[in-house]
Amino acid sequence: MKSRKIEIAPSILSADFRALEREVKAVQDAGADRIHCDIMDGHFAPNLSFGPIVIEAVKKSVSIPLDVHLMISNPEKYIANYCDAGADILTVHAETCSSLENVIDEIRGRGVRAGVTVNPDKPLDLIFDYIDKVDQVLIMSVYAGFSGQKFIPEMTDRIKKIGDEISERGLSTDLQVDGGINDKTATVCAGFGANVFVAGSYVFGAQDYRERIEALRNAAEKSIARN
Ligand code: DX5
Ligand code: ZN
């Protein structure tokens, strides 16, 4: 498999929002490659989180890329807001888009990397044909909505399917996994081709962020070396 850079993306959904600036600086200093920002609207996702104002604040606090995961209805309406607020990568759920192609074009047209995903109960076919048209494919290993959920083991079939396609076609598309990621699940996912690991509770739930970020990176690197 063509080797893509392993990246660790702590999700601020599990951070202490009383001290968000300190939290994002701390994970950056601890070696994080991106900050994962979960946007939820209480419609598409059964939870509410935050919007562009928080993205702007995080953007002012760190220099690593902001990886924004949109879990909202009608994302078309808000793409400009999130790009302007400072998203470096913007991932949308295919099941929320009336034209995924137009959404991808708009994101990339604004100079932002585009990602696509679907919830675990939606067909992978909704995004499969876009592997070479986007910068990132995200496999959801939990349902969009909350941190701290258990990794759904069946989602490894999806990781393998996309990972094999990326590898066979020599693409540089990032393969990201999100939900229930720890050193053990990261090992499994990396073995099937994932290279970007989102982790909320595993990183922010620990005392030592560096130790957790390194544990994820080491787990992924070792797993890839074995394959
Ligand atoms: C779930 C979010 C995830 C969440 C991950 O809707 O997309 O990014 O924060 O949290 P953990 O790593 O705790 O499963
Ligand atoms: Zn997410």
Tokens matching residue 69: 């995961």
How does pLDDT run across 119-160, given as a tens digit for each residue? 999 999 999 999 999 999 999 999 999 999 999 999 999 999
CA of 138 to the centre of ligand 2 (A): 9
- Out of 47, 71, 96, 149, mutate this one to test ligand 1's pocket (max ligand atoms within 8 Å of CB): namely 149
Distance separating alpha carbons of residues 187 and 95, to the nearest angstrom: 29
pLDDT value for 2: 55
Q: Ligand 1: does its nearest atom lie under 6 Å from the Cβ of 145?
A: yes
Q: Which ligand is nearest to the CA of 115?
A: 2
pLDDT value for 176: 98
pLDDT value for 51: 98
The residues of the chain scoring below 50 in pLDDT are: 1
CA of 48 to the centre of ligand 1 (A): 13
Q: Is 48 exposed, middle or buried (0-12, 13-18, 19+ CB in 10 A)?
A: exposed
Q: Which ligand is nearest to the CA of 149?
A: 1
CA of 38 to the centre of ligand 2 (A): 5
Q: Ligand 1: does its nearest atom lie under 6 Å from the Cβ of 201?
A: yes
Which stretches of 89-130 are assigned E, i.e. beta strand?
Answer: 89-93, 113-118
pLDDT value for 227: 82
Tokens matching residue 223: 């797993």
- Ligand 1 atom with the smallest distance to the CA of 201 is 13
pLDDT value for 1: 46
